[in-house]
Amino acid sequence: MPDTSRETLPAAPAPAPAPATADEPRGCLFALSQPPLMIFLGVIGCLLLMAAVHDLFVL
């Protein structure tokens, strides 16, 4: 009668993640954390808000 039990080998260790390098591309959340971009978006948002308030309440 053949032996049907199988021996389990120890799992190979997972490869360590590579350290982040300076030339690695970054995502858009990094871009949104930049102060000049946030100031620009804030100014545009305020202009749109003022235009909407003017259209709703003044005209």
> Rounded distance, CA 42 to CA 36, Å?
10
> Rounded distance, CA 50 to CA 59, Å?
13
Residue 56 contacts residue 50 (beta carbons within 8 Å):
no
pLDDT in tens, 10-39: 666 777 666 666 676 767 777 777 888 889
**How far does CA 57 lie from the centroid of its chain?**
38
Residue that wins the pLDDT comparison between 34 and 49: 49
* pLDDT over 60 (residue 1): no
